[in-house]
Chains A and B, each alone.
Chain A
């Protein structure tokens, strides 16, 4: 394995992403929204700090999802349509180097955005009288895990289907279904028919359970359930992302340019 080649692609993708105007505008808009949460917090009465905390964490995740999904879907499709992908694939490097490099570069640029927003958010919170809670970092880590999963899915769908719109729809659908998993499980338990129950159960295990990563829900409540599954969910997130990256490599290897 040639790490130098992969890191060159990561570096290139990262630079391309952060140079993009859409990236700048999204980051800027995210920061504006964080500052706006200070205004919203005034309406929160004696729970104003909580309003800033929740609003900020939600904004960080939402903007990260928008960046990873839109970029993840378009990053390879654009290179294919503009034929710039030939420049990379014509070199003596395996195709999976290209795909892993693109994925990690994109993920890294999204994490940089999350980091910038988190720093600003923490400063705003401290200014509002918040006492730093290490669970905040866990909340950000949970969002980062979701971003890794949804990024691999976006990349897979962009290779699987040729239309960017359908890839976006599929990715967002899985994002919603992923969060709906606990409710979905309950609905499955209420179904009496064996075959529908079996089909839905298989479907339940295929979709990523993003509720595992809502670690921000645990801030300040000292819920004993958090740490019982935490290491497993962490490994599961990495494995799930890896599965869809492997699937993407299979699809990319089969493509003829």
Chain B
């Protein structure tokens, strides 16, 4: 009796399994079918599949990207500069990289050649992790001056967004168009688009920082002041500290 029951229940279970196979949509791209951008984290990424924790590992990859980007590339160069004393590079204080570091306007700039690999890793682990795509696209375009790579990344994000009904994904296209305006030196059009981007709730603080610095450089001090104020009120400690310095410097310029 039990054996007959077991045969029936196995048959019903298999029927359900076949039915699910025709309906189930696996939300991710398969790890075995996508080429990993770097071999360094292959073991961790593979384990994320075996444990069914791709979202968690994509979060770890995101933290690793922030740590990579937060680590200064040229520590040796910097220590030499500090020991030899600060030398102003620009004439009449027009342009000085050291001073830019002090004020934070050069924040996030550098080479960071592996930045795209780190970002693509996140996009492949969790194609719906939308925020790093925005963040990395903006960093590559405005901080690292590699807009071509930014467009590749944003296109990957746009392709991933097709499957889901996520109302925030249009921002990826917005950033892409801003980058295209940057590439064609249409700064005014780029600023117009960035102005639309910074009012979005998911906009990275870094993008606000870029726009605020553009305002400052183009002499739009009041607009810059209000945006630095927004940055100062954000949760990002790194930007907050520099935003305060910028607010103080603009107030001095405006005699406030």
A positions within 8 Å CB-CB of B: 40, 43-47, 50-51, 54-55, 57-58, 62, 176, 178-180, 182-183, 186-187, 205, 209-212, 214, 216-218, 220-226, 228-229, 232-233, 235-236, 239-240, 242-243, 246-247, 249-250, 253
Contacts and interface: CB of A to CB of B under 8 A. Distances in A.
Interface string B1-35: 01101100110111011111001111110111100
A228 B25 contact: yes
A38 B204 CA distance: 21
B27 A239 contact: no
Interface of B: 2-3, 5-6, 9-10, 12-14, 16-20, 23-28, 30-33, 49-56, 59, 62-63, 66-67, 126, 128-129, 131-132, 135, 163-166, 204-205, 235-236
Contacts of B131: 46-47, 50
A211 B126 CA distance: 15
B234 to A, nearest CB: 8
B175 to A, nearest CB: 16
Given A222-B165, A225-B24, 6 more contacts: A44-B63, A51-B62, A55-B59, A58-B51, A179-B52, A210-B52
A216 B126 CA distance: 12
A176 B236 contact: no
B14 A205 contact: yes
Given A176-B51, A218-B27, A221-B164, A246 B17 contact: no
B47 to A, nearest CB: 9
A179 to B, nearest CB: 4
B16 A224 contact: no
Contact of B17 (A55, A186, A236): A236
A62 B51 CA distance: 9
Main secondary structure of the interface of B (DSSP, over half): helix
A10 to B, nearest CB: 21
B60 to A, nearest CB: 9
A239 B19 CA distance: 14
Given A179-B50, A179-B52, A186-B33, A212 B59 contact: no
Interface centre among B56, B62, B205, B236 (most CB of A within 10 A): B56
Contacts of A228: 23-25
B210 to A, nearest CB: 15
Contacts of A211: 26, 52
Contact of B20 (A62, A236, A242): A236
A212 B6 contact: no
A210 B135 CA distance: 32
B166 A222 contact: yes
A250 B51 CA distance: 31
Contact of A243 (B3, B10, B63): B10
B16 A235 contact: yes
A216 B23 contact: no
A212 B13 CA distance: 14
Contacts of B17: 205, 209, 236
A223 B29 CA distance: 14
B2, B19, B20 — most chain A CB neighbours (10 Å): B20
The 4 A-B pairs at the shortest CB distance, nearest first, are namely A225-B25, A179-B52, A229-B23, A222-B165
19 contacts: A46-B135, A46-B205, A50-B129, A51-B59, A51-B63, A54-B55, A58-B55, A179-B50, A182-B26, A183-B31, A183-B32, A216-B55, A220-B128, A222-B165, A236-B20, A240-B13, A243-B6, A243-B9, A243-B13
Nearest to A249: B2
A45 B14 CA distance: 45
A247 B235 CA distance: 56
A229 B10 CA distance: 20
A47 to B, nearest CB: 5
B52 to A, nearest CB: 4
Task: Pick from B27, B52, B126 the residue with the most CB of A within 10 Å.
Answer: B52
A77 B19 CA distance: 36
Contact of B16 (A43, A45, A179, A239): A239
Contacts of B67: 43
Contact of A46 (B6, B25, B50, B236): B236
B200 to A, nearest CB: 12
A236 B59 contact: no
Nearest to A235: B16
Contacts of B10: 243
Nearest to A45: B66
Residue in B51, B67, B166, B205 with the greatest tally of chain A CB atoms within 10 Å? B51
